[in-house]
Amino acid sequence: MKKHNFNSGPSILPTIVLQQAAQAIQELDNTGLSVLEIGHRTPFFIAIMEEAKSLVKELMLLDDAYEVLFLHGGATTQFMQVPMNLLNQTATAAYCDDGVWGSKAVKEASLFGNVAVVASSKDKNYTYINKQFSIPEQAAYLHITTNNTVEGTQWHSIPETNVPIVADMSSDIFSRPMNFKQFSVIYAGAQKNMGAAGVNVLVIKKEILGKVNRPIPAIMDYQKHIEAGSLMNTPPVFAVYVALLTLRWIKAEGGLVEMEKRSREKANLLYSTIDALSDTFTAHVAKEDRSFMNAVFFLKNPTHETPFLELCKENGMVGVKGYRTVGGVRVSMYNALPLESVATFTELMKDFAQKNS
C-alpha cells in the first residue's frame, strides 16, 4: 500500500528527487562515477556546491551582501555556533523562547554570553507565539524559531526591529516567500523541506561577522567557512547533492510562491476539518499562530487517541504520532507532501468522528 508520509523529519521528499538521487548513486551525469565517489575538490562537486548556493540565493532573492554555507552538524550545532560567532562574553543576545527547539538555543547561547529571554510562551505550553516584547537596544541579535516543529506554531509575520535577526528555519525554510533581507542569519537542517539529513544550510549577511573577540576554532568559524567556499573540510557530499536536487525541484515547480500556495491549501483543509469535527478533535494552538507545516491536535476523549493512531497506521499513514513530550497527533505537511495525502487523512478523521461520536 502507498504510504502517506507525514513524518516530521527526516520526511517526505519529491519522488523525482529520490529517482535522481538514486540515479546519481549509480552514476553522476555521465561522469563514470557515483556521486558518492567523487572528490569534494573536483570540478564535479564544486559545480554542485556552487549551483546549490546560488539557488538558495535566487529563491530567497538575496544579493551579494549574503553568503550561503552548507555545514555539518544539524541545526543543533547552530544553537552554539551562532553565539560563538556573534555574541561576545559580556554582550547580550535577545531570544524568543517559543518552543522546545528555541529553548535549547537559549541554553546553548548562555554558555557564550548574556541571554535576555524577551518573550516566552512557556506559560501555555508553547501553544502561541508571544509577539509582545521589547528588545534591549544593544542586543547583538534577536533569535527566533520561525516554525515550531514540535508544538505546531509559526511566525506569520516577522518582528520589525533594527537588531539583526537570527532565525532557525529548520522546519519551514523554502515554504513561503518572505523578505529574507530582514534576516542576518538563517539556518536550517536539511531533512525537512530541503533534502536528506546530514547538512545544514546557513545564509549569512557578511557585515554581521568579525565582531566577537573570542578565538573561534576554525571548523566553527563562519568567516573561515566563507573564505573556503564551504569546502574547509570534506562536506557531506551526498546530502549537499540531494539539497541541490530539491532546490531545483522547488524552482521548477514555481518557487516559494507556489510552495506557499500548496501549503495553505493543505493546512486549510486540515485545520478546517479539525474545527468542523470539534466534538472529536481539538487543537490547542492559537488560531492566528497555527503552523502551515506541522499541525498538532488532540482527541477530545483521550481514550480515543490510541485507536485513532492505530487506524492511521492500518491506512498507511506514517508519522502522525505527536512529539514524545506533547502527545496527541502531529501531521507534518512539508513541501513534497501532496494535497491528496491530506485529503485522505481528513476523510479518515471524518470516518473516525462519525463512528465515535
Q: Is 9 in the site for ligand PMP (CB under 6 A)?
A: yes
Residue 258 exposed, middle or buried by CB count within 10 Å (0-12, 13-18, 19+) = middle
Measured from the CB atom, the residue of 14 and 189 that comes closer to ligand PMP is 189
Q: Are strands 165-168 and 142-145 parallel, antiparallel or unpaired?
A: parallel
Of 61-69, 72-80, 208-216, 330-338, the window that binds ligand PMP (rule: CB under 6 A) is: 72-80
Q: Is 291 in the site for ligand PMP (CB under 6 A)?
A: no
Instruction: Convert residues 13-42 into a mask of x (bound to ligand PMP by CB under 6 A) and - (unbound).
Output: ------------------------------
Q: Is 180 in the site for ligand PMP (CB under 6 A)?
A: no
Q: Is 10 in the site for ligand PMP (CB under 6 A)?
A: no
Are 345 and 337 spatial neighbours (Cβ–Cβ below 8 Å)?
no
Q: Is 101 in the site for ligand PMP (CB under 6 A)?
A: yes
CB of residue 220 to ligand PMP, shortest distance in Å = 15
Which residue in 101, 249, 266, 289 is the catalytic one? Answer: 101
Checking 298-306 for CB contacts under 8 A at 24+ apart, the result is 298/322, 298/327, 298/328, 298/329, 299/328, 299/329, 301/356, 304/280, 304/352, 304/356, 305/329
Q: Return the residues of window 125-164 that contact ligand PMP according to CB under 6 A.
A: 145, 149
User: What is the DSSP code string of 17-80?
Assistant: HHHHHHHHHH-STTSSS-TTTS-TTSHHHHHHHHHHHHHHHHHHT--TTEEEEEESSHHHHHHH
CB of residue 101 to ligand PMP, shortest distance in Å = 4
Judge whether 168 counts as a catalytic residue. Answer: yes
The enclosing H or E element of 295 equals: strand 294-299
Judge whether 63 counts as a catalytic residue. Answer: no
Which residue in 98, 155, 172, 192 is the catalytic one? Answer: 192
Applying CB under 6 A, the residues found at the interface with ligand PMP are 9, 74-76, 101, 145, 149, 168, 170-171, 189
The catalytic residues are 101, 168, 192
